[in-house]
Amino acid sequence: MASYYRGLLDTFWSPYVWLPPNTTWLDIAPDADPNVAHADYRHLLYPLPMALVMLVLRYCFEKYWFAPVGISLGIKSSKPKNAPYNEVLEKAYAQSKKWKHKQIQGLAKQLDMTERQVERWLRLRKGQNKPSTLTKFCENSWRCLYYICSFLYGLLILWDKPWLWDINECWNGFPHQSVTSDIWWYYMISMSFYWSLCVSQFFDVRRKDFWQMFIHHIATILLMCLSWVVNVFRIGSLVLVVHDCADIFLEAAKMTKYSGYQKLCDTIFAIFIVLWIVTRLGFYPFWIIKNTSIDAPKIVPMFPAYYIFNGLLCLLLVLHMFWTYLILKLAYNSLNAGQMEGDIRSSDDYSEDSKSQ
């Protein structure tokens, strides 16, 4: 059994698949060349305990900083009133959360209630699962803080890196490129954050694009892990810094919305739309994907894993296009309403049946 497992691993991690021609795993081992600090695949375990630290940090920030600030801004921490327990209505609600008028009439007759009473129960039942505005404010504050720190740190460490100014430098000397300590920390912290999101997503405010976000997190982690193993961390660092930029304003717009500063929210949201389009539909496809698809094959010999990397990058672009549709749809509706309404980029599951807080 052990030999079968070993053989399966050797087949999967075949250098023919993952490395350029005439390159072996021994060639890019951490101690293969004293002059080159290759990435160490064993370090990919570090982000897992670091993700737990990230979750603890988030809990402390939310409880001792964001929540008190939110309360001082007048953000409500109370949840809507619970619906009184009713076994028949609960069974109907478990089958479908959207009731047609005929179903409401039938339930009212069955329970000797008025239609208005049934409708009121349904509104209360939907509302009792909705998180408080303060909970959403704290969640967005944590992500905003992370994206600010991550973007500034990424920009700081990449400023003196040649591949920020000439993206072709990502491939010169590949795969024999040294991982500096600043890039190491950038990768490890970023991976720990996305691992923590994979966990926290299941108890955070649930949104319509839950599974799209989950796929996004998994694709990001896969890209980072594979790029680390194969020493494609230079292009990976550019992907990270491009992604973090617009997300700062996304989370900030949500925070100001929950705080009641509508005009400020509208302004930040407008900045977010511009940055999102420039980075996610501009820099990302026409700078990064263009380089990996057109320029890179002219510099380094192609190998099968290259197509895996490029496929994952293109998958992220498809998700960007989906979210751009949601953003522009929300912007259009907001212009008609005179202000930004609903949740930004992805409405929560309960927003369809109740007005935004």
Asked whether residue 343 is domain-assigned, the answer is no
Position 129 pLDDT exceeds 70: no
Residues 286, 292, 294, 296, CA torsion sign: positive
Q: Are residues 162 and 42 in the same domain?
A: yes
Q: Judge whether 261 lies within some domain.
A: yes
Does the residue 314 lie in any domain?
yes
Is residue 299, in this structure, part of any structural domain at all? yes
With b meaning 16 or more CB within 10 Å and e meaning fewer, what string describes 227-252? bbbbbbbbbbbbbbbbbbbbbbbbbb
Q: Are residues 182 and 114 in the same domain?
A: no
Cα–Cα distance between 265 and 13 in angstroms, integer? Answer: 48
Task: Tell me, yes or no, whether 144 and 284 share the same domain.
Answer: yes
Regarding whether 290 and 228 lie in a shared domain, the answer is yes
Quick one: pLDDT at residue 295? 93
**How many separate domains does the chain show?**
2
Q: What is the dihedral of CA 314, 315, 318, 324, to 10 degrees?
A: -100
Boundary-marking domain end, from 97, 127, 157: 127
Owning domain of residue 117: 87-127
Same domain, 106 and 60: no
| Per-residue model confidence as pLDDT tens digits over 26-65 | 999 988 889 999 999 999 999 999 999 999 999 999 999 9
The answer to whether position 227 is within a domain reads: yes
Q: Are residues 267 and 225 in the same domain?
A: yes
One domain, residues 173 and 262: yes
By the 8 A CB rule, do 115 and 105 touch? yes
Q: Is 2 within the bounds of a domain?
A: no
Whose tokens are 């959360």? That residue is: 97
Query: Same domain, yes or no, for 144 and 168?
Result: yes
Q: Which amino acid is at 317?
A: L
DSSP structure class, residue 120: H
Helices (H) and strands (E) in the chain, counts: 16, 0
100 and 54, same domain (yes or no): no
pLDDT at 347: 44
Same domain, 164 and 121: no
Question: Per-residue pLDDT averaged across 9-24, rounded?
Answer: 88
Give the model confidence (pLDDT) of 224-266 as tens digits. Answer: 998 999 999 999 999 999 999 999 999 999 999 999 998 999 9
Residue 94 sits in the same domain as residue 200: no
The CATH number given to whatever domain includes residue 92 is 1.10.10
The pLDDT score that the predictor gives to residue 349 is 42
Residue 125: per-residue pLDDT: 77
The confidence band for 340, taking pLDDT boundaries of 50, 70 and 90, is low
User: Looking at residue 228, what is its pLDDT?
Assistant: 94
Instruction: Tell me the average pLDDT across 80-102.
Output: 80
Domain check: are 144 and 123 in the same one?
A: no
Which value, in Å, is the radius of gyration of the alpha carbons in the chain? 24
